[in-house]
Amino acid sequence: MAQNFTETNKALTLGSGVNTDFTTTEVNKVAYDKGFYIAFKDAGFDSVRFFIKQGWCPEFYKPAVDDALQLGLKVVLVPFSMYCWGKGHLVQWWDEVAEYYKDYPAELVFEIMNEPKMAGHSDGEESETMQWYGECIQEIRKSNPTRLLAVGGPHFNGVEFLTEYVTPEYLSYTLEDGTGFADDPNIWGVFHCYHPKSFTHGAIDQDINKDHPNWKQLIIADLEEANAWSKKHNKRIYLSEWGTRLNHKKKYVEEYTAFVVTELAKRNIEWSYYCGVFNNAWPYGLFNSEWGFAGVEEIVRNLTGKEPPKEVPPTNQIVNSDFMLDLTDWNTSEYAIMGTADEQGVDGTRAIRVHVPFTYEPDIGRKIIPSLYQQYEPDWKFRVMGKEQANKYTIQLRENRVYDISFHARCEVGSARFQLQLGQAPDNEPIIWTSEEIRVDSTLNKYEIKYQHSIPSVHNVRFSFIFLDRHSEIILDQIELRGHKPT
């Protein structure tokens, strides 16, 4: 059956949209979990936008797409693309993605590219960037003739680039039926708005009114320019990113979100707020695996008009838990050496290998405890640096919660022993809990352990594997730490 979404697209709206920045595109992000969608749906969001990585098989993202649509959430897929891979590769990959999802409903939207400058497109090459857009559109239209496409300009998707470059002059392609950009009713124009930028991107808390007295005028100017583009080209507008860090006093973030949502509604501009989830430490993230939307309730109400849920589904707070990003976010002590173990993980995926040349033997001067661990890094590029930390730490333990810990493990030869440990970051002092000894053999098995946190909440935690056998070589994969109420 031929795809024909044109009439459906006329009425399609994203409603209250949110960026769920969970996918494996770059460092520091948690893996996809359906619990995120359930939480955001319960909080009143109507659509999700998430990133997919150029070159990855489109099937990898199928669970995230299917779960969203099943829950009644509309989906915007947008790639993290790589300029250095060349235009041909991006076009070919978009052909694969479009072909794979061609039978999906109209509620699945393709956004062609995210912030080309971040992908590596240089200033002064705007015309070339728009050629990339045009060739991707041509390829997608072969299998998806009427799917809704969201198209932005070069650079960081600023509205001025929408105005100047998302036009028939720069999108001068011609489809097989002889039509082009101007004739296509199934294209939206995309822009991003992060005004005032030193507030939205500021690591130190600010007073939005005192420090940026013209902030409302800056935002209105962008929205008015986008609205003018919409009227000129007879196409709808999609603000696919706007939002702010949460390390400012909440009243300023609340004022900001209430204002922007109202102004967007006046102009019928579709939007997705940045950001819903990334990891617990991400200063933009509304969602926390242990506290849900606690502390940002009014912000969520501004965005959705609905009261956020008091409880959210258990989700894994470990970053790079399946080592799809090599060794990122994992650390070892002096007596442990880590490396990747390709095809050694669950289902033949990548895992981590830890070699333990020495163990803790203080009687002969070996006073280091060999460990593999993850924690919030105080020198992280995106850390909060002001007075308002806003509970932005990677791993956290909530009072009176049960923690389900699971992982897959084996050793290369014979058997090996280790323990799990939770301690207060950054120095693992005091130690909060240490498990019983765990013995693994050469067969990759799943291990599950429970820990009940009955002491006061700890907001900055180190999660460790403590190795007990010298010369052991251990494979680990799919490490999870999920907290929930006792049953």
Average model confidence (pLDDT) for the chain?
95
DSSP 168-194: TTTS----TTS--GGG-TTEEEEEEE-
The mean-pLDDT minimum among 39-48, 357-366, 378-387 falls in 378-387
Q: Are residues 139 and 261 in the same domain?
A: yes
Model pLDDT, residue 387: 74
The verdict on 240 and 299 lying in the same domain is yes
Q: Read off the pLDDT of each residue in 85-102 and give the average, rounded to a whole number.
A: 97
Q: Is residue 312 part of a domain?
A: no
Does the pLDDT of residue 3 top 90, yes or no?
no
What CA–CA distance (Å, rounded) separates 232 from 33? 41
pLDDT of 1 strictly over 60: no
Same domain flag for 340 and 264: no
Sheet of 337-341, strands arranged across:
337-341, 351-355, 473-484, 401-411, 445-453
Name the band, by pLDDT with cuts 50, 70 and 90, for residue 364.
confident
User: Does residue 326 fall inside a structural domain?
Assistant: no
pLDDT at 383: 83
Structure tokens at 142: 């072969």
Which strand (E) or helix (H) includes residue 226?
Answer: helix 215-233
Helix axes 297-304, 250-266, angle to 10 degrees: 0
- Predicted pLDDT at 30: 87
Tokens at 144, concatenated: 């998806």
Q: Is the pLDDT assigned to residue 146 strictly greater than 90?
A: yes
Residue 310 included in any domain: no
Whether 231 shows a pLDDT value over 60: the answer reads: yes
Using CA atoms, how far apart are residues 241 and 78, in angstroms rounded to an integer? 12
Q: Tell me the per-residue pLDDT of 393-444, one tens digit each, with 9 for 90 and over.
A: 999 999 999 999 999 999 998 999 999 999 999 999 999 999 999 999 999 9
56-74 residue pLDDT tens: 999 999 999 999 999 999 9
Per-position DSSP letters for 26-66, written without gaps between them: STTPPPP-HHHHHHHHHTT--EEEEEEETTS-GGGGHHHHH
Structural domain tally of the chain?
A: 2
SS3 208: helix
Say if residue 239 is in the same domain as residue 345: no
Say if residue 351 is in the same domain as residue 280: no
Name the pLDDT band for 173 (thresholds 50, 70, 90).
very high
Task: Say yes or no to pLDDT of 26 above 70.
Answer: no
Are the C-beta atoms of residues 182 and 170 closer than 8 Å to each other? Answer: no
Query: Per-residue pLDDT averaged across 452-470, rounded?
Result: 98
Over residues 164-185, the mean pLDDT reads 98
Region of residue 273 (phi > 0: left; psi between -120 and 50: alpha; otherwise: beta): beta
What DSSP line would sit under 338-380, residue for residue?
Answer: EEEETT-SGGG--EEEEE-S---BGGGTB----EEEE---TT-
Residue 319 lies in a domain: no
For 299-349, what is each residue's pLDDT tens digit? 999 999 999 999 999 999 999 999 988 898 999 999 999 999 999 999 999
Nearest to 104 by CA among 128, 68, 133, 132: 68
Model confidence at 390: pLDDT above 80: no
CB 127 within 8 A of CB 170: yes
**Residues in a beta bridge with 76:** 49, 109
Does residue 442 share a domain with residue 296?
no
Q: Work out the pLDDT band at 24, boundaries 50, 70, 90.
A: low
Percentage of residues in the chain having pLDDT higher than 70: 99
192 lies in some domain? yes
What is the pLDDT confidence band of residue 22, given thresholds at 50, 70 and 90? confident
Q: Looking at the structure, do residues 267 and 363 belong to the same domain, yes or no?
A: no
Buried b (16+ CB within 10 A) or exposed e, 90-107: bbebbbbbbebbeebebb
Assigned domain for 313 exists:
no
Q: What is the CATH number of the domain that holds 455?
A: 2.60.120.260
409 plus 297 within the same structural domain = no
Report whether 36 contacts 64 (CB < 8 A). Answer: no
- What's the average model confidence in pLDDT over 23-50? 90
| Domain of residue 462, residue span | 331-484
Final residue before a domain boundary, out of 304, 323, 351: 304
- CA separation for the pair 310, 292 (Å, rounded): 7
pTM for this entry: 0.95
Model pLDDT, residue 25: 61
Instruction: Tell how many helices (H) and how many strands (E) occur in the chain.
Output: 12, 19
Tabulate helix, strand, coil % of the chain (nearest 5). 30, 25, 45
DSSP state letter for 395: S
Question: Do 164 and 36 belong together in one domain?
Answer: yes
Q: How confident is the model at residue 378 (pLDDT cuts 50, 70, 90)?
A: confident
215 and 360 housed in the same domain = no
In a shared domain, residues 159 and 255: yes
pLDDT at position 90: 97
Q: Does the pLDDT value for residue 38 go beyond 90?
A: yes
Q: Does residue 382 register a pLDDT over 90? A: no
421: its two tokens: 């440990």
Instruction: Let me know if residue 323 belongs to a domain.
Output: no
Q: Which of helix, strand or coil describes residue 297?
A: helix
CATH number of the domain to which 88 belongs: 3.20.20.80
pLDDT above 80 for 2: no
On whether both 242 and 352 belong to a single domain, the answer is no
State the CB neighbour count (10 A cutoff) for residue 59. 10
How far is it, in rounded angstroms, from Cα 396 to Cα 460? 6
- 106 in any annotated domain: yes
Would you give the DSSP letter of residue 455? S
Instruction: Find the mean pLDDT for residues 139-147.
Output: 98
